[in-house]
Amino acid sequence: MVPTRPFLLAAMSALPLSLVACGSSSGEGAIVPEGTHYGYVVSKVSVPAKLSDLSGGTFSLDLGATKSNTPDGTKDNRLGEALQFLTMAGFKLQDTIDTAVNAGSILLLVDFQTKDFTSTNAAGLGVKLGVKATAMPAPCSSATDTVCGHHLTGTGVFTVDPSSPTNALLGGKIVGGKFSGGPGDVSLQIAISAGSPPLTLSLLNARAEATAITDTGMDAVIGGEVTAADLTNQVLPAIAGQIATTLAADCAANGTPPGCGCTGSAGMMIIGLFDGDDGTAKDCKVSVAEIAGNLAVKPYITPDVCSAKSCTAPDALSIGLKVHAVKASFPM
């Protein structure tokens, strides 16, 4: 379900987007993990940078079909397509995420339980949020430290944020060194820009795959389904807010259509693409309705998967992200 589309979303925004997840297992007959708990901290969160990342499945998981949440053999990542096109458009999305991870603004703690890293019928993976203020060592050595990342060397000690879920891990099996777990419930946090409070989205039918698993690190892909309601009520308003910030920086405060006094390229593209796109008069502003109704955006906010056992039409959007984690200590 990851089709190749024309290059459309280039001007959606200069949005820095950061992703973190935390979750739990659910469903009848769920696997109950056994064995030792191993702790990790995520040192890298990656978004798709090229079409092959999506078509090849590197960032995608099989999250269901269009009329059922039963996996159908096709890997899904509808929102990942938007991230990939933003990257191709020249937005420094990956740089923004790297900065957030290194500075501890994104602090993901992975709890992985297993009796064996190569083969087992009862393993589990969960992700919790860490507390930046109590991380040891601190992510940045001083206010002038522009590199940071000192907590990501494999010796970090962390505390768990009280808001993290306390439910069971995503249960699954390890075959040939590859873990496949889920479905379950996962809370995904999206930080639209550095310093902004993250949005919390509840992912349905979440799944995870992990490889290169040892007691000192792992690589993983985490995916799930975002409800259309969460997209409309949380994500789009946050995007509109960030677009307003971009326009304030690139365009004149009292600019008039059609140019709106924009001098920055991002502001010019945004005004040209969205302002008045819903049929309203151009006013040098961009509303949620103008974003949602834009023909270039609709392919990326149109549901592509079913969140229930049966649907008459897709009712959720798939998303997936790739992470690398290193050894860490925290209460499990």
Q: What is the pLDDT of residue 300?
A: 82
Identity of the amino acid at 186: V
The pTM for the full model equals 0.83
Confidence of residue 292 (pLDDT cuts 50, 70, 90): confident
Q: What is the pLDDT of residue 330?
A: 97
| pLDDT surpassing 70 at residue 11 | no
The string of pLDDT tens digits covering residues 145-198 is: 999 999 999 999 999 999 887 767 899 999 999 999 999 877 766 655 555 666
